[in-house]
Amino acid sequence: MRKGSQRRGGLRFLSSAIAIAVVLPLIVAFHWSRLGWRDGHVNYPSRPSGYTQIVNRFGQPCNAEARAISMRWRAADNGVMYWFSFHRKLGGRPTAMVSDKGGRSTNLDNDVYGHIQNAHLQPYIKHGIYGYACRAKRNSNEWSTHAFGIAIDVSSAEEYMGKCTSTVNKYHASIWQNHGWYWGLAFCDPMHFQYATNY
Partner 1 sequence: MKRRQAIVVGLVVGVTASVGVIAGAAGRAPARLPNGRSVGPMVPADTGAGELLLAVVGGVFSSRQEAEAANAALAFGDLQGYYVVPVAQFQGFRQEVGEPGEFALVSAFRTDEGARAFAELAAMLGIEATILPERVRSLGGLYAGLGQEASPDGTGPLLGPVAESLP
Q: Is 67 in the site for partner 1 (CB under 8 A)?
A: yes
Separation of alpha carbons 67 and 70, rounded Å = 7
Separation of alpha carbons 24 and 60, rounded Å = 50
Separation of alpha carbons 149 and 85, rounded Å = 7
Q: Is 45 in the site for partner 1 (CB under 8 A)?
A: no
Judged by CB under 8 A, the number of residues near partner 1 is: 36
Can you tell me whether residue 31 is helix, strand or coil? coil
Please check whether residue 48 is in contact with residue 58, taking contact to mean a CB–CB distance below 8 angstroms: yes
Separation of alpha carbons 191 and 123, rounded Å = 15
Smallest separation (angstroms) from partner 1 to the CB of 106: 24
Q: Is 128 in the site for partner 1 (CB under 8 A)?
A: yes
Smallest separation (angstroms) from partner 1 to the CB of 158: 11
Taking residues 74 to 113 in sequence order and writing x for each that binds partner 1 by CB under 8 A, - otherwise, the string is: --------x-------------------------------
Please check whether residue 196 is in contact with residue 54, taking contact to mean a CB–CB distance below 8 angstroms: yes
Q: Is 161 in the site for partner 1 (CB under 8 A)?
A: yes
Q: Which residues are at the interface with partner 1 (CB under 8 A)?
A: 51, 55-56, 59-64, 67, 82, 128, 130, 133-144, 146-147, 153, 156-157, 160-161, 184, 189, 191-192
